[in-house]
Chains A and B, each alone.
Chain A
Amino acid sequence: MYGFEAMTFNIHGGYLEAIVRGHRSGLLTTADYNNLCQCETLDDIKMHLSATEYGPYLQNEPSPLHTTTIVEKCTLKLVDDYKHMLCQATEPLSTFLEYITYGHMIDNVVLIVTGTLHERDVQELLEKCHPLGMFDSIATLAVAQNMRELYRLVLVDTPLAPYFSECITSEDLDDMNIEIMRNTLYKAYLEDFYRFCQKLGGATAEIMSDLLAFEADRRAVNITINSIGTELTRDDRRKLYSNFGLFYPYGHEELAVCEDIDQVRAVMEKYPPYQSIFAKLSYGESQMLDKAFYEEEVKRHCLAFEQQFHYAVFFAYMRLREQEIRNLMWISECVAQNQKSRVHDSVVFIF
């Protein structure tokens, strides 16, 4: 019953909620980011990070560091936190935590299929996969020639199987179809996750539907912008939008016919929660759109922590950590390439 979760939530979820809130207090602050932005070399970054929670993961790395090593070790910390929480969780929290990783699984599947298409080595691709999205038999993906085989050989045993009903065709896999497959899978995943959260009810349903609606709308805008000028027809574009969110259904009708960024802006400005995103950009500029979306996402995920006794804090924590890792990657790349003036272009402060 909404409003009375406080009476029974702590039976199964109290310990883990307290743990995830403890992890949240370890996220890097503005002061940390300022220190990191002033580093001259990657070793300085490693030294600053050794005082944070990433310390134990980076301390054994030998001295000529690469940016990919830093990102890999920080991702390892996220994976350890996640696995610890997953093994302590009971139903329905364990299913909820598993849902959070399906997005990474989809990305990994697409990564391997694309890489195989361009004739890269399977081992090399497996190393680039995100660790949260790994599943057994992922290496077999390299063998598939078209989507039907992909499904029959590998994906039918994974949690992604129900998402494939809409995209099984016998067409061979090429770049365009793979992107469409990725977006169709992600659409099915978001809708499934949304339904699951609605079934959980209470504060979880309310907060998660807000966060997932923002995700769905953001993807709709990104799909629109990326498909301007390509051969994707309006109907195909319309099919890639999710069936929930603020834009559903009227915004989707308008976005499907957009042909340039100013038309997209006009559509978004009709929805008050998204007006502030475009207000930060001047006309015709789209590079900063990603950063504006990330900032909005971080703001909403931080707000999820304001309420107690629900599961959305787990989802929010995972997303905030991923944002932090993106920030670290950007800072490391800028430092490694000596372009420190551009550091603040893409770092989103969480606190």
Chain B
Amino acid sequence: MSSSAIIAAHSSSWAAALVRISPYTFSAIGIAVSIGVSVLGAAWGIYITGSSLIGAAIKAPRITSKNLISVIFCEAVAIYGVIVAIILQTKLESVPKSSIYEPESLRAGYAIFASGLIVGFANLVCGLCVGIIGSSCALSDAQNSSLFVKILVIEIFGSALGLFGVIVGIIMSAQATWPSKI
């Protein structure tokens, strides 16, 4: 019996329950969150920008082509989510039944879960941020075209937030080493 089982037998029932959840569950949830919540953030941002852009372009048709950049920044957020999900799913390996609840296995499972959560929620808020700024950018550009480039700089800073999430997520997932098959 591994030491984790001994520890769990002496701990409260919650700790015992959590430790008995398969690390595969945590990994799968992490991968789902990474792609699902990123796409939620991207979609949220796109509709916020898109509705303002359509309305503003009626009076000022010249803004449409330039302001698609805001939509592209939001879309990039979804792409980050897809890339990380693909990377995470390559980290999933099978381990023999006897070592599913090894500390090493649990660590790998938690690492993938955390990585997915990091990327998903960072992309959610990044998509929202870029979307709201994109909406204001479209409306200001319609009134005064010299404002576009300046507000674009704000959007670039906003989209860096998603990038931070991806970087940390990938570093986390690099630690997801499952115990070697003996």
Residues of A within 8 A of B (CB): 6-7, 10-11, 14-19, 21-23, 25-26, 308
Contact = CB atoms under 8 A, between A and B. Distances in A.
A19 to B, nearest CB: 5
Interface in B138-153: 138-139, 142-143
Nearest to B143: A25
Nearest to A20: B55
Interface stretch (B45-53, B78-86, B92-100): B45-53
A7 B135 CA distance: 11
Contacts of B181: none
Contacts of A26: 59
B8 interface: no
Interface residues of B, number: 20
B117 interface: no
A82 B24 CA distance: 58
Given A6-B132, A308-B135, A308-B139, A14 B48 contact: yes
Contacts of A11: 47, 51
24 contacts: A10-B47, A10-B48, A10-B51, A10-B52, A11-B47, A14-B47, A14-B51, A14-B52, A14-B55, A14-B135, A15-B54, A15-B55, A17-B55, A18-B52, A18-B139, A19-B59, A21-B142, A22-B55, A22-B56, A22-B58, A25-B143, A26-B59, A308-B135, A308-B136
B56 A18 contact: yes
For the residues of A in contact with B, the DSSP-based class is helix
Interface string B54-80: 111011100000000000000000000
A21 B55 CA distance: 9
Contacts of A6: 48, 132, 135
Residue from the set A6, A10, A308 with the largest chain B CB neighbour count within 10 Å = A10
Contacts of B138: 18
B110 interface: no
Given A15-B54, A18-B55, 16 more contacts: A6-B135, A7-B132, A11-B51, A14-B51, A14-B135, A15-B52, A16-B55, A18-B51, A18-B52, A19-B58, A21-B142, A21-B143, A22-B60, A25-B59, A25-B60, A308-B136
A199 B54 CA distance: 29
B135 A10 contact: yes
B35 interface: no
Nearest to B51: A14
Residue from the set B55, B132, B136 with the largest chain A CB neighbour count within 10 Å = B55
For the residues of B in contact with A, the DSSP-based class is helix
Contacts of A17: 52, 55, 139
A142 to B, nearest CB: 41
Interface string B142-182: 11000000000000000000000000000000000000000
A234 B123 CA distance: 64
B15 to A, nearest CB: 36
B176 to A, nearest CB: 33
B136 A22 contact: no
B130 interface: no
B101 interface: no
Residue from the set A21, A26, A308 with the largest chain B CB neighbour count within 10 Å = A21
A26 B60 CA distance: 11
A7 B139 contact: no
A7 B51 contact: no
A43 to B, nearest CB: 28
Contacts of A308: 135-136, 139
B47 A23 contact: no
A323 B13 CA distance: 72
Nearest to B53: A18
B128 interface: yes
A309 to B, nearest CB: 8
Contacts of A19: 55, 58-59
A1 to B, nearest CB: 14
B26 interface: no
Contacts of A18: 51-56, 58, 138-139, 142
Nearest to A19: B55
A10 B49 CA distance: 8
Contacts of B128: 7
A31 to B, nearest CB: 16
Contact of B51 (A15, A21, A22, A25): A15
B118 to A, nearest CB: 21
A10 B135 CA distance: 9
Given A14-B55, A15-B54, A15-B55, A22 B142 contact: yes
A26 B48 CA distance: 24
A340 B56 CA distance: 38
| 5 nearest CB pairs, A to B | A18-B55, A22-B59, A14-B51, A18-B56, A15-B55
A10 B136 CA distance: 11
Contacts of B143: 21, 25
Contacts of B47: 10-11, 14
